[in-house]
Structure 1
Amino acid sequence: MTDEQPDRKESGFKETTRVRTARERLRETVAGHDRTERVPLDAADGRVLAEAVVAERNVPHYPRAAMDGFAVRAEDTFGASDRSPEILRSAGEAASVEPGAAVQVHTGSELPEGADAVVMIEHADERGGDLEVFDAVGAGENVAPVGEDVESGQRLYDAGHRLRPSDLGLLKSVGVREVEAYEPPSVAVIPTGEELVAEDPAPGEVVETNGLTVSRYVERWGGAATYRDVVTDDPDALREAVERDSDHDVVVTTGGSSVGERDLLPEVVSELGEVVVHGVALKPGHPVALGVVEETPVVMLPGYPVASIVNAVQFLRPATKWAGNLPVPDPPTTDARLDRKIRSEPGVRTFARVSLTDEDGERVATPTRASGSGILSSVALADGWVVVPEASEGIPADEVVAVQDWEALP
């Protein structure tokens, strides 16, 4: 133990690291993996491309009618007007258009041979075997030519693009059946604490929820979670668990990250590798620790449920994304008027849980009454949180704030 890393159990958290700095230090420990696999389109939603994708065929791959109407040779309609319509011979739904004739087509229909334009149905009248055309059309009018949407060989997406449902539809239309994508990053989730049980707790016992919650967030964020059994507060057991899972892209633990007698994880990780951050200036959940073991980043989350979630969003989410070559988008926000003051400690980034309501057409944010980091319902029943920056001592009532919908984060 060096002078720069005092014994936390003796000194407590006299100094903490700012969120931005902590994230930068974590970033230095995370390398994007290079494992890829072929993925069929129907399983590729949300996957990140490992190579560029080009169109294998034109869309459309045939000239098609862009409107319901009549396929014609444009020159046969020149001079047509409401007062002096051109009279063409109606050829029903023939496969080709002869001079002076018109063939009925529907939107998306293949343009009959010989035709080079479509007269919209509302600009013509059928009378017996004839068609009166009231509006002249130019060559190519109301026609979708071959490759109008996408041309064969066109580069559609570069490596690093995360596929969306609309992308899958486009890729299928151009003949792509599977893509080369990065494998989801592997994340080992290790809940710790001798008081934790799977269910039916006795007095003094607590149902383990953090590991379940965190593992499901990992899956939502594009990772593949390995949800481990609870590990008790024993240094040898903790050391074995972290070493066992150091072959994953990321290891995350819950509980045991603070400075109490049973908070052993920072010491264990320090022995196996390095702790780069211990204690972050955020609330709730400043007893978070970040480290690295055998080139694998280790995110040590606090045991209180709300603190665990806040820190998972701030640190585990970007670590998972970075490891899987995934983009890290900002959370969506909703502007709302704050109906009650939010207090915050200077120098600390505060995540204040709020509920949203509509009052006379105005969005209103109400801070939750239960603000403790152990009150799981305060975050589970909230609609988002307001981030109070380090430089502020709080936000006054009636100010318009940005409510982050962190639950909607991919």
Structure 2
Amino acid sequence: MSHDDLERAGFKDRTRVAEALETVLGAVSGHDRTDRVALGRADGRTLAETVTAPSPVPGYDRAAMDGYAVQAADTFGASDRSPAVLRESDDGAVTPDAAVRVHTGSDLPDGADAVVMIEETETVGDEIEVFDAVAEGENVGDVGEDVAEGTELYDPGHRLRPSDLGLLKSVGVDRVEVYDPPTVGVIPTGEELVQRDPAPGEVIETNGLTVSRLADRWGAVPTYRNVVDDDPNAIRAAIQRDLAKDVVVTTGGSSVGERDHTPEVVDDLGEVLVHGVALKPGHPVALGVVEGTPVIMLPGYPVACIVNAVQFLRPVLKRAGNAPVPDLPTVEAALSRKISSEPGTRTFARVRLREADDGRIAEPTRASGSGVLSSVALADGWVVVPEGREGYDAGDTVAVENWEWSA
């Protein structure tokens, strides 16, 4: 559809969110750049290799309790009334009728096959009375009980967490092969945009800053470019400059007005895959590809820009960096008042959370107004109203999505 046709149609035909995402992800390939890094630099990075355990944990049979290492056969029949009587070993090895004092985590002495808990023993002179029989292997941690040698721990594409790094260090891994973070060029557009001290008719640029910081949180390396005027040649040059990046994202100029040139430029350079999505706020988003590089064209209204960045830029960056796309965390709350939604449209209603005597309450900050940045910046999350609903009623329990989560 031509630019003039789109302007006349006013986005009456909008692509569903799931279909739009599937379409753009189909044009995204994960890059193959990797680096081998020390564990201290690997937190949050995505593995580019399968990691197996080169050594077991524990690397030795160990006592799992404080007590005495024994030969289990020496304790058979032991009870409170008829304790087994052992002696303290002279040389640190366990032999018949001899025991060695051990602590949790201690190397199991030679000759021992079980540990009697200290509370089931009593020392009387040079003798040790045992009041409870133990079976062979009881209270003993075997070699590899935690991790066996050769165990496959992680597959490529796993995003490393601090607990993963601890486990890797415990099995003797000190460096891992990880994918380089994906790169993204962030290009704000709009001749009315300034960085500070706006005159009448000017607006302080916020979208590029917000999107670049979100991209950083999502594991990418953003390059936040200077504002580009609403001029097709300038937009073309800016996009072409960043085609060496894994992803290009523009803010503003994505609709069908006289100054909305970005989709037309992208379609001339490559292909616009989707233009107009059934979500609110922010349906004028456009998704395209130029010379194999995905181009995400976000609307200029700040809330619409953020909504679409989360829905499309985040998964595209993850795909480009070979990383999984974790679900955003949610909390349940009861709505303080009704939220309305247009049938067939996925709506993102911003809410603030407060605690009440009868549970958590979600208060809508604003049901509409994609240009009101404070409505999302001062919110605690948003409620996603799916396409098949016309909204939620006051008192309904809803899931509040934390869109600003750093993953």
What is the TM-score normalised by the length of structure 2?
Answer: 0.95
Q: How far apart are the structure 1 equivalents of 2:300 and 2:282?
A: 9
Tell me the alpha carbon deviations over residues 349-377 of structure 1, each in whole angstroms, 9 at most, x when there is no partner.
11001112222231221111474111111
- The question of 1:50 aligning with 2:48 is answered yes
| Aligned residue among 269, 279, 282 for 2:276 | 279
Post-superposition CA distance 1:15-72 (Å, at most 9, x none): 2222122112211211111222212111112222222111110111111111111111
Partner of 1:267: 264
SS of residue paired to 1:368: strand
Q: Report the residue type matching 2:126 in the other structure.
A: G
AA of the residue aligned to 2:317: T
Q: Which one of 33, 37, 40 corresponds to residue 39 of structure 1? A: 37
* d(CA) in 2 for partners of 1:175, 1:307: 48
State the distance in 1 between where 2:218 and 2:183 align: 12
Query: Is the Cα–Cα contact under 8 Å of residues 349 and 367 in structure 2 kept in the other structure?
Result: no
Q: Confirm whether residue 237 of structure 1 aligns to residue 228 of structure 2.
A: no
Quote the Cα distance in structure 1 between the aligned partners of 2:237 and 2:46: 33
1:8 aligns to what? 6
Check conservation: 1:370, 1:378, Cα contact below 8 A.
Answer: no
Secondary structure in structure 2 of the residue aligned to 1:277: strand
Quote the offset at 1:315 in angstroms: 0.6
Q: 1: distance between equivalents of 2:84 and 2:154?
A: 47
Task: Please give the per-residue CA displacement for 1:250-307, whole angstroms capped at 9, x wherever unaligned.
Answer: 1001111112222111111111111111111111111111111111110001111111
Q: Distance in 1 between matches of 2:314 and 2:327?
A: 11
1:304 to 296, 301, 304: 301
1:155 aligns with 2:152: yes
1:111 aligns with 2:108: yes
Q: Which amino acid aligns with 1:49?
A: L
CA contact (8 A) 1:332 1:409 kept: no
Q: What is the CA deviation profile of residues 132-179 of structure 1, one whole-angstrom value per residue up to 9, with x for unaligned ones?
A: 110111221111111111121121112222222211111111111111
In structure 1, the partner of 2:251 is 254
* Counterpart Cα distance in 1 of 2:56 and 2:327: 35
| CA apart distance, 1:397 | 1.4
Quickly say closer, same or farther: Cα 1:263–1:6, change in 2 above 3 A: closer
1:338-377 map, 5 Å: 338-369=335-366, 371-377=368-374
The equivalent of 2:385 in structure 1 is: 388
Equivalent in the alignment of 1:80:
78
Deviation at 1:11, TM superposition (A): 4.3
Residue equivalent to 2:140: 143
Q: How far apart in 2 are the matches of 1:141 and 1:394? A: 59
How much has 1:201 moved relative to structure 2? 2.6
Give the letter for the 1:280 counterpart.
V
1:205 is matched with which residue: 198, 202, 206?
Answer: 202
Q: Is the Cα contact below 8 Å between 1:39 and 1:178 reproduced in 2?
A: yes
Match of 2:398 in 1: 401
In the alignment, residue 200 of structure 1 is paired with which amino acid? D
Letter in 2 for 1:38: R
**What amino acid is the match of 2:344?**
G
Q: Deviation of residue 10 (structure 1)?
A: 4.6
Q: CA-to-partner distance for each residue in 1:101-145, whole Å, 9 max, x for gaps?
A: 221111111111222111101111122222111011122111111
Q: One-letter code of the match for 2:385?
A: V
Q: Secondary structure at the match of 2:240?
A: helix
Secondary structure of 2:95's match?
coil
Q: How many residues align?
A: 407
Contact 2:56 / 2:143 at 8 angstroms: preserved in 1?
A: yes
Letter in 1 for 2:238: A
Q: Distance in 2 between matches of 1:234 and 1:207?
A: 19
SS at match of 1:213: helix
Alignment RMSD = 1.7
Does the 8 Å contact 1:354/1:385 carry over to 2?
yes
* SS of equivalent to 1:407: coil
1:124 is matched with which residue? Answer: 121
Question: How many angstroms does 1:6 deviate by?
Answer: 4.8
Give distance in 2, aligned partners of 1:346 and 1:97. Answer: 77
Contact 1:190 1:227 in 2 (8 A): yes
Counterpart contact for 2:350–2:366, Cα < 8 Å: no
Tell me the residue number matched to 2:28.
Answer: 30
Q: Deviations over 1:213-266 (max 9, x none)?
A: 111111221222122122222221111110010111110011111122221111
The gaps in structure 2 that reach 5 residues or longer are: none
CA distance in 2 between partners of 1:20 and 1:75 (Å)? 65
Q: Partners of 2:338 and 2:238 in 1: how far apart?
A: 44
